[in-house]
Amino acid sequence: MRFEFVQPETLSQALETLAQHGDEAKIIAGGTAVVLMLQQKLIAPAVLVSLGRLPGLDYIRADATGLHLGPLTPLRRIARSPLVREQFPALAQACAEVGNVRIQNQATLGGNLAEADYASDPPAVLLALDAAVTLAGPAGSRTLALADFVLGFYTTALAPDEIITDIFVPLPPAGSRMTYLKYKSRASEDRPCVGVAALAAFENDTCIDLRVAVGAACEVPRRLVEVEALARGQALRPGLIADIAAGYAANIETLPDLRGSAWYKTEMVRVYVQRALELVRQ
């Protein structure tokens, strides 16, 4: 297989190269997904555009409104960042759950989101945190909620000439509790069979905000706002937790694969939503 390998030194050079080659170009960041796709001949780009030399896209920065993550930030840095671990522990947890340490060192957050493999860990947490993704393209930048960025099976809103330039995670409600649970059905370093992120905020014992995002079991990470709403104004008692878990199991269309049948994944969605809610309840 022959392709041209281009290493732009600025974002505008990278965007120009993408605009010039259109569908014939493929971005490579950490390469953990792209190299496998090339080896398996799933893709045959004429031009491979490396983001590795672009300055200023590998960062973890907090401001008064939340956390900005550069798309080239390796998952391992996010997992080990004291800032992320303190303010967004479930995000650190999800990045630390990805594959193994070698993969986490190489894989970038932008690459993980752009790949849109349904069996991924970070997207569920980012969905529960209401994260947003900024894309740069020839006509300027646009920012999309994560729910509008991941559109389907390996499909995102990215145009061939766009690059993810920022991932923003707003501060969660004060005093909220959050967790991420990954269930692996085959091996300890496997991708998730089911991943569940849950965030709950309370006033005294009353839940004022509940967000539950299920990933990996379905084509795209899913939140069910009508089921989440059952918790609002209530204490998260065992019966309510069981109802919410049953609501997720009943309304998420699970995707059968080597990690489990649709029936099995539905059962695991119920079990893991329940476990996640038991961890975040007061």
User: Quick one: tokens of 99?
Assistant: 């594959």
Chain positions 224 to 263 lying near ligand FAD, rule: CB under 6 A, are: none
Shortest distance, position 78 Cβ to ligand FAD, whole Å:
11
If you write DSSP's letter for every residue of 153-186 in order, what string do you get?
Answer: TTEES--TT-EEEEEEEEPPPTT-EEEEEEE-SS
Q: Is 276:183 a contact under the CB 8 Å cutoff? A: no
Cβ closest to ligand FAD, residue 52 vs residue 173: 52
Binding mask 53-92 for ligand FAD (x = CB under 6 A): ------------------x---------------------
Residue that has been written with the tokens 């550069």 in this structure: 70
The one among 14, 15, 34, 200 contacting ligand FAD by CB under 6 A: 34
The one among 24, 115, 257, 267 contacting ligand FAD by CB under 6 A: 115
Regarding 26 and contact with ligand FAD (CB under 6 A), the answer is: yes
b/e map 53-77, b = 16+ CB within 10 Å: ebeebbebebeeebbbbbbbbbbbb
The residue count for binding ligand FAD (CB under 6 A) is 30
Regarding 103 and contact with ligand FAD (CB under 6 A), the answer is: yes
What does the alpha-carbon distance between residue 200 and residue 228 come to, in Å, rounded to a whole number?
10
What does the alpha-carbon distance between residue 177 and residue 153 come to, in Å, rounded to a whole number?
30
Chain residue at closest Cβ approach to ligand FAD = 111
Cβ closest to ligand FAD, residue 34 vs residue 210: 34
> Phi and psi (nearest 5°) for 85?
-65, -35
The one among 98, 133, 196, 210 contacting ligand FAD by CB under 6 A: 98
What does the alpha-carbon distance between residue 54 and residue 72 come to, in Å, rounded to a whole number?
9
Residues in contact with ligand FAD by the rule CB under 6 A: 26-34, 36, 51, 71, 98-99, 103, 106-108, 110-112, 114-115, 120-122, 158, 163-164, 191
